[in-house]
Amino acid sequence: MRNRTAAVGYNPADLRRLWAQVPADDAVEAARICEATGVDFTTGAGRVWETDEFVYLPVVLNVRDGDTLKREAVAFALGCHLLVTLQPSIHFPPFDKALTRMRRTPHLADSPHGVMYALLYALNEASEWVIDHASDALEAMNDEIAMATSGYTERGREIGVRDMQDAIARMNEAEEIVSRSQETQLLLARAARHLRAELDVDQVQLAGLLDILIADIDGVKEHASYEHDKVRYLQQSILTSLDIKQNQIVKVFTIITAVFLPPTLIATFYGMNFTVMPELSWEHGFLITTLMTLIAALIPLWYIRHKGWLR
């Protein structure tokens, strides 16, 4: 127990010598740190870039802040003896988990490569948390999705586009979140692979941890792909159900039009002001005209039913 206690923790002063944090929201402080470290984040301009002293690796990720999600950019400048991060603020909550991991595994704070591993590990965890949040949001919509699939509301009324507008909007938001998370995983995997390539041959333990991290990043990416396919399937199911309902409505109006068109045509003829209309003098002229109108209406109805268009 005594040995474990001695192993826990790291020296914050040593960590500050290995890791410099550049706050993007403080231009003066950012300029001072960049000048002191010799890092120029404008060189890469959001791309992977290499100089004689640093490798620049950008990452963009979704960050959950309560019930809201923000899109944040983080850039790494990795050198042999120093890691510099350009982050949204000096206290970037996703990095808290990296500090916790370094306190639990102190040897990670012995090199900038170990620090960057801990930071990428924390960003991967934050990205998976966002994907789980999107998945939970979809699970909370089960009742609405079931209603859309059945085609009827709880009161037995047929659903329409207006009934599902809110659900469709939330699905679109979930799809956008998961799509961006897929992009984040690609950027994290690229950064992790570049970090793996920068390791010295004697950093065997850290290399093993990075291999596991790369596999974890790919696993989270597969999870994001699964959730993306899931939300796209649900979107397509709802839209298909709404299309079927709309087609049924159009079919009903088409059948009504087909049935009443012949009687309307007959009524139009008898509405004309001809001088001679023999049917007016017939004893059963009204009955004959009525039966003829009924037959004219039944013929298209029989044809439609015969073709199976009423199903």
Q: pTM for the whole thing?
A: 0.75
Per-residue pLDDT tens listing for the chain (311 residues): 333 434 456 677 788 889 999 999 888 888 888 888 889 888 766 788 888 889 999 999 988 777 778 889 999 999 999 999 999 998 999 999 999 999 889 889 999 999 999 999 999 999 998 888 888 877 777 666 666 666 666 666 666 666 667 777 778 888 888 888 999 999 999 999 999 999 988 889 999 999 999 999 999 999 888 888 888 887 777 777 777 777 777 888 888 887 888 888 777 777 777 777 777 777 777 787 788 888 888 888 888 777 777 66
**C-beta of residue 75 within 8 angstroms of C-beta of residue 86:** yes
Instruction: Tell me the C-alpha distance between 135 and 230, whole Å.
Output: 9
Instruction: Tell me the C-alpha distance between 84 and 30, whole Å.
Output: 11
Looking at this protein, which amino acid is placed at residue 208?
A: G
Number of Cβ atoms within 10 Å of the Cβ of 188: 26
